[in-house]
Amino acid sequence: MQIKVGFEMVYTCPQPTPMILMVNIHYSRASDLAVPDQLRIVPSVPVSAYRDSFGNWCTRIVAPAGDTWISSQAIVNDSGLREPVDITARQTPVEYLPEETLIFLLGSRYCETEKLSDVAWQLFGNAPTGWGRVQAICDFVHHRIQFGYQHARRSKTAYEAYEERAGVCRDYAHLAIAFCRAVNIPARYCTGYLGDIGVPPVNAPMDFAGWFEAWLDGRWYTFDARNNTPRIGRVLMARGRDASDVAISTTFGPNVLKSFKVWTDEVPATSP
């Protein structure tokens, strides 16, 4: 199957404003791009790009005073299969974890493992290790947090989401990540496109999605505490310790996000 994904953002800046954008599809899906996601910026400005320490593709611009229109669209080849589930996947003891996973055991800006450690061990200390423990965490977070865009707050941390019992997809992911790390399971934050493919459509504006990956039995597995079920057609854009590492845009000056649209649609199959 093929999926058409894209976005359009319009920023208004009162003065020239440096920006870092992280809006490209992750390099791990590069071979799946039937139509590449070339970034379009109007008015045209000089662009430079680099990879950050997590391997994400970042774009630097200086947005001029006034409106800046940023957009991209791609067509992605996808297997059409639901994400894999392996209930036999085991938890790796910390002393045997690969060095590159250790950073994802540590607390981070939005995932305060220290504040949630005691709670995590009380809730999940007796849960089966490995896949069963991560799934128990997802089940708890899924029922603990009430979803609603009115509960969104850029500064909200995992501990605050736990206390307030409300949030959006990033808050589900942050809380699940913090719990995983607290019980010695490396977990990292992911962002990207996730449409209503294979599920009833949601009557709400589309947005970028947040989920997480946990390291089990020698590899990373996808988990989604918000939806709490394997999905079809997830398209990764960036990974990091938490949402602070994968912000769609980071601006260094006053600005207003004037318009924001995201789309993720299955491309109808053509008749032979």
Kindly report the number of other CB atoms within 10 A of residue 272's CB atom. Answer: 3
Same structural domain, 109 and 235: yes
35 occurs within a structural domain: yes
Q: What is the largest CA-CA distance in the chain?
A: 59
Q: Which residue's entry shows tokens 């996730």?
A: 194
CATH number at residue 107: 3.10.620.30
pTM: 0.95
Cis geometry, peptide bond prior to residue 16 (ω within 30 degrees of 0)? no
Same structural domain, 106 and 60: no
The answer to whether 184 and 123 are in contact (CB under 8 A) is: no
Same structural domain, 60 and 6: yes
How confident is the model at residue 199, as a pLDDT?
Answer: 92
Nearest to 229 by CA among 172, 181, 177, 269: 172
Q: How far is CA 102 from CA 122, 186, 236, 266, in A?
A: 23, 7, 22, 37
Report the amino acid identity of residue 145.
I
What percent of the chain lies above the pLDDT cut of 70?
99
Same structural domain, 152 and 41: no
Q: What is the mean pLDDT of residues 135-157?
A: 95
Same structural domain, 135 and 210: yes
Same structural domain, 53 and 108: no
Q: What is the mean pLDDT of residues 95-104?
A: 98
How confident is the model at residue 202, as a pLDDT?
Answer: 82
CATH number at residue 48: 2.60.40.2250
pLDDT in tens, 6-58: 999 999 999 999 999 999 999 999 999 999 999 999 999 999 999 999 999 99
What percent of the chain lies above the pLDDT cut of 90?
94
> Which residue would you say has higher pLDDT here, 205 or 181?
181
**Confidence tier at 256 by pLDDT (50, 70, 90):** very high
Q: What is the mean pLDDT of residues 177-206?
A: 94
Whether the pLDDT of residue 269 is over 90: the answer is no
86 occurs within a structural domain: no
How confident is the model at residue 204, as a pLDDT?
Answer: 81
Whether the pLDDT of residue 62 is over 90: the answer is yes
The answer to whether 152 and 168 are in contact (CB under 8 A) is: yes
Same structural domain, 240 and 105: yes
Tokens of 93: 């003891």
pLDDT in tens, 159-170: 999 999 999 999
How confident is the model at residue 79, as a pLDDT?
Answer: 95
Whether the pLDDT of residue 271 is over 80: the answer is no
Q: What is the mean pLDDT of residues 80-105?
A: 97
> Who contacts 57 (Cβ-Cβ below 8 Å, separation ≥6)?
22, 24, 26, 27, 49, 51
Spatial distance between the Cα atoms of 213 and 186, rounded to a whole number of angstroms: 8
How confident is the model at residue 203, as a pLDDT?
Answer: 80
Q: Which domain holds residue 171?
A: 94-244
88 occurs within a structural domain: no
Spatial distance between the Cα atoms of 73 and 80, rounded to a whole number of angstroms: 20
Q: In sequence order, what are the beta bridge partners of 10?
A: 69, 259
The counts of H helices and E strands in the chain are: 4, 15
How confident is the model at residue 74, as a pLDDT?
Answer: 98
What average pLDDT is seen over the chain? 96
Cβ burial, residue 210 (10 Å; 0-12/13-18/19+):
buried
How many domains is the chain partitioned into structurally?
Answer: 2
Whether the pLDDT of residue 272 is over 60: the answer is no
> Which residue would you say has higher pLDDT here, 150 or 224?
224
How confident is the model at residue 157, as a pLDDT?
Answer: 98
Same structural domain, 229 and 259: no
Same structural domain, 66 and 181: no
Same structural domain, 254 and 193: no
Same structural domain, 238 and 256: no
